[in-house]
Amino acid sequence: MNKKKKQPRTVISNKEARQLRALGHHLTPLAMLGREGLSDAVLASVDVLLSKRELIKVKVQNNCPLDRNGAAGELSLATGAAVAQVIGGMILLYRPNPDLVADKRIQFS
């Protein structure tokens, strides 16, 4: 597993989770968990993706050794992201990035 220092976990409210689910509905999965599960390479790529975008979808394939809820929890702990949704084989992760340009950041209403 990932030996990097874990980031503090992001916490979101129910209202924020609803807004994130609406924003994430049309997103394409950018990372996939396959037969190797949560390898260091997958964790590193998810971390990079969350740095570039605050909201990403991760697909859990059928051959993944982890169940989708377990994978979501592990991803959340390893990256410091909040799990906005787990539905079907998809995990929606959110981690705010204050370094992003203001128009690319997610604004909650």
Domain ranges of the chain: 14-95
Mean pLDDT of the region 11-40: 94
Position 104 scores a pLDDT of 87
Interval 79-106: pLDDT, tens: 999 999 999 999 999 999 999 998 889 9
Position 1 scores a pLDDT of 47
Interval 40-72: pLDDT, tens: 999 999 999 999 999 999 999 999 999 999 999
Looking at 3.20.20.80, 3.30.110.60, 2.60.120.1440, 1.20.1510.10, the CATH number of the domain 14-95 comes to 3.30.110.60
Contact 95, 10 (CB under 8 A): yes
Given a cut of 60, whether residue 16 has pLDDT beyond it is yes
